[in-house]
Amino acid sequence: MKAGPAMAAHSPGLFVDSPVPHFSGTALSFLTPFSVFTGFGAVIAAGLAGGLYLCARFEPGDEINQKAQKWTTLFSYLALAAIVVTLIWTYSIFPWAAAKWTGPHWWVWVIWLLVILGFAYKSMMAHAMQRDFVALLWGEGVVALMWFAMWATMYPYIVPDTWTIAQAANPADSIAVFTLFMTGFVPVMILYNWYQIWVFRGRYTKKAMYSSH
């Protein structure tokens, strides 16, 4: 879809300025060095989460636990490096992020970064002491803190400098129905996951996993 002259004059980047902004790039416009790097970063994060989970699920000294301990330690350092590179790269190519981080509330972002690094340190130390479930919880905390930081950086936009949260909001009745639904569903989901974790709280060994075969 092409924009008219008035719309095109105000188009920020790949988005057309209209009541409902729409993407005007090509099928490969998303493919940039930064997007490729963040893709690798996501793989590293998934590898770290998987490693922490395996360490927590298998008995210390078990063959699978020992292998997971080694590559989880490696992925911990790779994840820290990926976080640092992503922050620097984001600051250098996205003016809206740089302006938010260096604005009048810059000290809040510094504190938030220190808290994230503190969580990462606690996760790595717990992992080194083979307190694997604790390490997993600290690691999940890092993910949650970074997720909130991302949305706080983008606020009030859904698409930076293009589409705000207010513009993307559903009608009031839809929001009310969704709120009521989630108010009932989220507690059930949390209770179910808690019950699942409690039932399968014990550790396994490689031999036990194949004992029935």
Range of the domain at 107: 33-164
Report the distance separating Cα 172 and Cα 212, nearest Å. Answer: 55
Report the distance separating Cα 157 and Cα 165, nearest Å. Answer: 6
* Residue 111 located in a structural domain: yes
* Residue 26 located in a structural domain: no
- Examine the domain organization and report whether 156 and 174 are in the same domain: no
Split into its structural domains, the chain has a count of: 2
* Residue 7 located in a structural domain: no
Report the distance separating Cα 9 and Cα 177, nearest Å. Answer: 38
- Examine the domain organization and report whether 81 and 142 are in the same domain: yes
Report the distance separating Cα 66 and Cα 54, nearest Å. Answer: 10
- Examine the domain organization and report whether 127 and 192 are in the same domain: no
- Examine the domain organization and report whether 72 and 158 are in the same domain: yes
pTM given for the model? 0.73
One digit per residue, the tens of pLDDT, for the chain of length 213 reads 444 443 333 444 565 555 555 667 777 878 899 999 999 999 999 999 999 989 988 888 888 889 999 999 999 999 999 999 999 999 999 999 999 999 999 999 999 999 999 999 999 999 999 898 899 889 999 999 999 999 999 998 887 877 788 777 777 777 777 788 788 888 888 888 788 777 777 776 765 555 555
Which residue matches tokens 């513009």? Answer: 167
- Examine the domain organization and report whether 136 and 121 are in the same domain: yes
* Residue 12 located in a structural domain: no
- Examine the domain organization and report whether 86 and 124 are in the same domain: yes
- Examine the domain organization and report whether 179 and 97 are in the same domain: no
Q: Burial letters for 54-93: b for 16+ Cβ neighbours within 10 Å, e otherwise?
A: bbbbbeeebebbeebbeebbebbebbbebbeeebeebeee
- Examine the domain organization and report whether 186 and 121 are in the same domain: no
- Examine the domain organization and report whether 47 and 79 are in the same domain: yes
